[in-house]
Amino acid sequence: MLKSNLRYNTLILLFSILFIALNGCFIYHEIYAFAFLPLALSVVYFSFYKTKELLFFVILFTPFSLNLESLSIGNIGFYLPTEPILFGLMIILSIRFIKRGNYDKALVSHPITIAVVFYLCWMSITVITSSTIVISLKYLIAKLWFVIPLFFYMITLFKEKENMYNVIWLYLGSLALVVSITLIRHYSWGFDQKSAHWIMSPFYKDHTSYGAIVAFYIPLTIGLLFRKKNSALIQYMLILILTILSVGLIYSYTRAAWVSLVAALGVWTLFRFKINFKYVMLLGIFGGFLGYQYYTDISIALGKNKTDSSENISKHIESISNVSTDASNLERINRWNCAIRMFEERPIFGWGPGTYAFEYAPFQHSSERTVISTNFGNKGNAHSEYLGALAEMGIVGLIAFLAMLFFVFYKASMLYIKLDDRELKTLLLSVILALVSYFIHGVLNNYLDTDKASVPVWTCFAIIIAIEIYHSKKKVIK
């Protein structure tokens, strides 16, 4: 045994000396990539033998991930270190599944899973018909490296109830630190609106993506506050985090995020007071009828609103409905109109996943262009998860996306009603409200092509299925 340990330690020492010598030579010749070899080998080892721990590391580091494009390293919107790791996990988990061939039948037959698979299948078809196949193929692969580890594999990890809370805590802790850093930097600029657009860089590309995720985690933080197992220290920590996120959201100056939280509050009211969904539908139909009847009057009223976005919070809120002079609102309408025109030209298959930014420029009308318009797609995408899907994957793509969301919210709502476990009900409701905030925000912006949004959204999808399949006493899959 002693000789075996001595031989093992000698080999480690020799390899270490060899690595240091080789790395020194590479550095001398200004080749620095070799220095990352131990890290790469560690990632490979964890991928095979510590998959859960590696995935948890990805979630922990996501708020801090850096975009190569924003760092002016190439023209690829690739996030480090999260996306390379997710890509590797996608391959390893796919091979592992094919080799073992065993997957929970309840999971495979779940309506949400079926809807996700249909969405991915249609996306695959539109890659073939894409105007730029290479871009669409890359987009599909990127979507898969989010869905396979963070949805399909994560569901199996959520057999252990505590893992659902761990995943929320991992992202939340890092996000709170990012928001704290942002607020400290913002304080030095006097919390002015202009600096709010970039002050969260390089962690988040702009204030809208930052605001969307901060809003997403506010309901989840409140949900954690109601967990009875929390110690006094944890409770104080959560109150502090909630305060940091709330202040961060206010000074993000992200109007869409504010609106999304108001919508989440409205949905909470429906659950809290057990308002029948049919009454909500009737109210929605009635509101739509009134909107149609008084469309002209509403348009005139909106046209009179000249309040632009401002550091004054009340004026900033008032500017939400300014569609006559506010450049941000007008540019968003410009992008939406482009998406609709793209759909009209290719209504079935669309232009291909991920191609909007490369194709929309010719569809702009000179009368709709604004001072912030561009032909290069470098200032946001379609500014809508829904119209983006419509332009890129056609009418079937939009239906597939909406069907996925329908089953997520329908199954989650039915599950909430029938759950007995109060702790799980609280967790599930906070997940529902977080998703409501994101997909309401998704009317005005789209971020599901980034790790910042995809990590929490897909893991929340996984939480809903896991609670139903593994933790609810009453199965409600039918």
pLDDT digits (tens, 9 = 90+) for 128-140: 999 999 999 999 9
C-alpha to C-alpha distance for 366 and 343, rounded to whole angstroms = 19
| Dihedral sign from CA coordinates of 83, 84, 87, 92 | negative
Residue 298's pLDDT is 44
Q: What's the mean per-residue pLDDT of the chain?
A: 84
- Residue 74 near residue 212 (C-beta atoms within 8 A): no
| Rounded Cα distance, 320 and 305, in Å | 10
Structure tokens at 396: 């079937």
Helix (H, G, I), strand (E, B) or coil at 355: coil
Which residue from 413, 426, 420, 465 is spatially nearest to 222, judged by alpha carbons? 426
CA distance 55 to 477: 28
For the cut 80, the answer to whether the pLDDT of residue 279 exceeds it is no
Confidence of residue 223 (pLDDT cuts 50, 70, 90): very high
The pLDDT assigned to 246 comes to 97
Rounded to the nearest angstrom, the gap between the alpha carbon of residue 152 and the centroid of all alpha carbons in its chain is 16
pLDDT band with cut points at 50, 70 and 90 for residue 23: low
Give the DSSP per-residue string, 370-417.
-TT--SS--S-SSS-HHHHHHHHHHHHHHHHHHHHHHHHHHHHHHHHH
Q: What was the pLDDT predicted at 96?
A: 87
Identify which has the larger pLDDT, 278 or 168: 168
Q: Rounded CA gap, 316 and 308, in Å?
A: 7
Return the percent helix, strand and coil in the chain, to nearest 5.
Answer: 75, 0, 25
Beta strands in 147-200 (DSSP E): none
**What's the whole-model pTM score?**
0.87
Whether the predicted pLDDT of 232 surpasses 50: yes
Q: Which of 54-63, 147-156, 297-306, 464-473 has the lowest mean pLDDT?
A: 297-306
Pull the structure tokens for residue 412: 């989650």
Mean pLDDT of 23-31: 60
Tokens of 17: 């000396």
Please report, as a single letter, which amino acid is at residue 41: L
Q: In Å, what is the CA distance from 166 to each residue of 108, 244, 257?
A: 25, 20, 25
Does residue 213 contact residue 204 with C-beta atoms inside 8 Å?
yes
- For residues 103-125, give the mean pLDDT: 93
| Residue 299 burial (CB count, 10 A) | 11
pLDDT tier, 299 (very low <50, low <70, confident <90, very high otherwise): very low
Q: Please provide the size of the chain in residues.
A: 478
Q: Quote the CA–CA distance of 6 and 4 in Å, as a whole number.
A: 5
Q: What's the one-letter identity of residue 281?
A: M
Helices (H), 192-326: 193-196, 207-225, 232-250, 255-272, 277-293, 295-303, 313-318
pLDDT > 80? residue 292: no
- Mean pLDDT of the 394-401 span: 97
Distances in Å between the Cα of 133 and the Cα atoms of 117, 130, 313, 357 are 21, 5, 44, 14
Residue indicated by tokens 């252990």:
160
Q: Is 345 helix (H, G, I), strand (E, B) or coil?
A: helix
Q: Are 431 and 370 in contact (CB under 8 A)?
A: no
476 — pLDDT class (breaks 50, 70, 90): very low
Please compute the mean of the pLDDT values over residues 410-430 and round it to a whole number.
95
Lowest mean pLDDT among 153-162, 280-289, 454-463: 280-289
Which residue has better confidence, 246 or 69?
Answer: 246
Average pLDDT score over residue span 276-297 = 64
Average of pLDDT values for 232-253? 96
The pLDDT of residue 189: 93
Whether the bond between 219 and the residue before it is cis, its omega within 30 degrees of 0, is no
